[in-house]
Structure 1
Amino acid sequence: MFEVLVYVYENYWQGDACPELHQLSRKLTAVGFEADEIQAALVWLNGLNIAAQNTQVGMPAGSQAGAPPVPTTASAPPGFQAQTAGSLRVYSVAEQDHLGAQALGFVSFLESSGVLPSHMREIVIDRAMAAPGDPLALDDLKIIVLMVYWSFGEEPDALVLDELCDDADFRVAH
């Protein structure tokens, strides 16, 4: 599935340039991906599209998708308050087991660095929980983060992009 997602990201780097899912399926088949990999990726992408659209609909007027949400009661669903700077995200046991320490640490790193707003973090967690792997590989999580940025029509900061695309196995400590 992740090879298909990387192909989609590389070939349709602007999310709005990506064809509808049924057309994308035909293009991926023509490229040579296996039917079960395509199906898994399309189901995953559909969930990503729904999550991104629902997040953008729930944002206050005048705020951008990549900007941290302004804490107002109008942007939060009834009965909930928007996340504040002092909020703490507690991960369920299922999330901890599926994501693993490395992936959770990386999400925390991105969030504390200010490059992964809370609304995007929740989509990353949701899509990571929908991905295969137990625990989820860190490289797979990085692809998920890239795809979440892609779904909002944003490109991460150059240093973040480097961190997401860099293969740490080939780094040499000096």
Structure 2
Amino acid sequence: MFDVLAFLFEQYFSLENCPDRGTLAKQLSAAGFDEDEIGEALAWLNEFDELDNAPYALLDAREAVLPRLLHPREANRLQPEAQAFFHYLSSSGALGTGQREMLIDRLMQSNAQSIDEEAVKRVALMVLWRQGDDLANLLIEELLFAESDGQMH
């Protein structure tokens, strides 16, 4: 599913450019993704589109960004590198508090038993992509095209 999300971002840099879900499913199938992966990704996107942003916006309204500790269920699903990257995004200010919580919520909604660093990057991209502002697009480009072996500080 995370590969489908990365493909969508690379193909449609803006949400406005995305076709309807039926057309999108055909394009994803033509690109070589299997039906299960496409179905899971489209269901995830539909759920993501229907999210109520109000609770997340309330978190962003707070002036202080509080550190985020992972719940044991979250920590058990995130690989160590994924945890490190999540904490990097959280502590660096790359994501607001609401975005950070949306990121972890969306990661926990995936069917993956073990979530790697690439999955965290891709879901962070989707969270930022949904906003559609220029600053988010710059961060998205950095996440998507940055060298993965570089240090995170």
TM-score interval (norm. to shorter): 0.7 to 0.9
CA contact (8 A) 1:99 1:129 kept: no
Asked if 1:96 corresponds to 2:87, the answer is no
Q: How many residues align?
A: 150
Tell me the equivalent position of 1:63. Answer: none
Tell me, in whole angstroms, the C-alpha distance in 2 between the residues paired with 1:14 and 1:115: 19
My pick for the range that moved more, 41-50 or 153-162, is: 153-162
CA RMSD, 1 decimal: 2.8
Tell me the equivalent position of 2:117. Answer: 138
CA contact (8 A) 2:78 2:114 kept: yes
Tell me the equivalent position of 1:34. Answer: 34
Q: Deviations over 1:142-167 (max 9, x none)?
A: 11111111112135374673344334
Tell me, in whole angstroms, the C-alpha distance in 2 between the residues paired with 1:47 and 1:124: 13
Indicate how the Cα distance of structure 1 residues 58 and 91 shifts in structure 2: closer, same or farther if over 3 A, else same.
closer
Counting only pairs closer than 5 Å after superposition, residues 17-166 of structure 1 correspond to structure 2 as 17-51=17-51, 54-55=52-53, 59=57, 69-71=60-62, 84-85=63-64, 87-154=66-133, 156=136, 158=138, 161-166=141-146
User: How far did residue 17 of structure 1 move?
Assistant: 1.7
Tell me, in whole angstroms, the C-alpha distance in 2 between the residues paired with 1:15 and 1:159: 16
Q: Deviations over 1:37-75 (max 9, x none)?
A: 111111121222223xx1168747xxxxxxx8323xxxx
3-state secondary structure, aligned to 1:168? coil
Tell me, in whole angstroms, the C-alpha distance in 1 between the residues paired with 2:126 and 2:10: 10
Q: Percent identity?
A: 32
Quick check: which one's helix share is greater?
2
Unaligned runs of 5+ in 1: 61-67, 72-83
The alignment's TM-score, normalised by the length of structure 1, stands at: 0.71
Unaligned runs of 5+ in 2: none
CA contact (8 A) 1:48 1:123 kept: no
3-state secondary structure, aligned to 1:69? helix
User: How far did residue 31 of structure 1 move?
Assistant: 3.1
Tell me the equivalent position of 1:65. Answer: none
Asked if 1:168 corresponds to 2:110, the answer is no
Which has more radius of gyration? 1
CA contact (8 A) 1:124 1:144 kept: yes
